[in-house]
Structure 1
Amino acid sequence: MRRMRVLLFLTGAAVTMSALAPSGFIGGYRLNLTPSEPLGLWRIEELQRPVAIGDLVFLCPPPTAAFVEARGRGYLRRGLCAGGFAPLIKTVEALPGQTVGITDHVLIDGRSIPASSLRAKDGEGRALSPDPGGVVPPHHLFIHSAFASSYDSRYFGPVPDSGLLGLARPVFTFHP
């Protein structure tokens, strides 16, 4: 029954978004179909202040070889960011100058981040390589999702803040 509700929701959301896509894109609305954050309709809200730890944000990943490989593995969707990537929805966990330690989980300035365990392999059994950690460079952000299988800075490291689109605000979402 639960599976049927999820399927009906996704079908309805896809039909609705197809009809509203042109105005939705202009209005900053995005459909999230990945489990890193609740499924459904989200809005990008312009950031009127400096980004802060704990902000849930939309961010375009840089068009690097690591992200091209990630898209090939199915970790990222196609979208309108540079390189053809869809924006990520992640929480900012560290800002420039902070120290990230990566062992079997993530530490920021010595503080353990909840739900940050690392996996050795993805769901298909392919090896995952953790980021080595270090000091977050200027104009970069360390982003994270509490979803255990999330592809985030644990694996690809800090990302340029130039890809920051704004805060991620749920409009109509649900947890499957």
Structure 2
Amino acid sequence: MTVRRSPLVILSAGAGLVIAVAGAGWCAGVRVNMTPSYPRGLWRIEMLDRAAAVGDLVFICPPHTAEFERAFDRGYIRRGLCAGGFSPLIKTVVAIGGQQVDVANRVSIDGRPLPDSEVRHADAAGRPLVPFAGGVVPAGELYLHSDFAGSYDSRYFGPIPSSGVLGLARPVLTFGP
């Protein structure tokens, strides 16, 4: 006896499977990165049981501020589950509270030039970008960076609260530079 399944039943079962796998991944801390700041693909949030340190690659929720609303409006960040409805960022911590950040044509941390930190004064659409003025990173805040030249990072939005750190960012399955 041959059993025929209707296309609707097959489609429903397939959709249910996709939703179940995506939900399990989400609960396990797996996220999709589709921005060019770091390789695109699947990343995992790994628990961080200490304060974020210089050199850590982290997932961090941006604060709900007018600056990040403007960044969303310009397409620099996406919607997600962080405060204000923003998506978490993947960035490298390059300075912590108490460190001096100087911003000119490029960034320097405690007098040492930061590689790949040239400052742009316009985005890819020709809209003006205003760089962070520089200064001492306040206690409890982090200065973030990406080597990608077009990255929207602390060169433009300045330090942000370390309380937004979700954990370390670990690649699972990525592609591209």
State if a TM-score over 0.5 links the two structures: yes
Assess if the C-alpha contact under 8 Å between 1:96 and 1:137 holds in 2. Answer: yes
TM-score normalised according to structure 1 size: 0.88
TM-score normalised according to structure 2 size: 0.88
Partner of 1:3: none
User: Residues 49-88 of structure 1: matches in 2 within 5 Å?
Assistant: 49-88=50-89
* Residue type of the alignment partner of 1:80: L
SS in 1 for 2:21: helix
Partner of 1:155: 156
SS in 2 for 1:34: coil
1:55-107 deviation line (CA, Å, top 9, x unaligned): 00000000000000000000001100000100000000000000000000000
* Residue type of the alignment partner of 1:30: R
Identity of aligned residues (%): 61
* Residue type of the alignment partner of 1:174: F
What's the CA shift for 1:52?
Answer: 1.1
Assess if the C-alpha contact under 8 Å between 2:52 and 2:162 holds in 1. Answer: no
Partner of 2:146: 145
Partner of 2:11: none
In structure 1, the gaps of 5 or more residues are: 1-15
* Residue type of the alignment partner of 2:90: I
User: Residues 100-115 of structure 1: matches in 2 within 5 Å?
Assistant: 100-115=101-116
Structure with higher Rg: it is 2
**Residue-pair matches, total:** 161
Assess if the C-alpha contact under 8 Å between 1:17 and 1:31 holds in 2. Answer: no
Taking only aligned residues, the RMSD between alpha carbons, in angstroms, comes to: 1.4
Assess if the C-alpha contact under 8 Å between 1:60 and 1:82 holds in 2. Answer: yes
Q: 2 CA distance for matches of 1:17 and 1:129?
A: 42
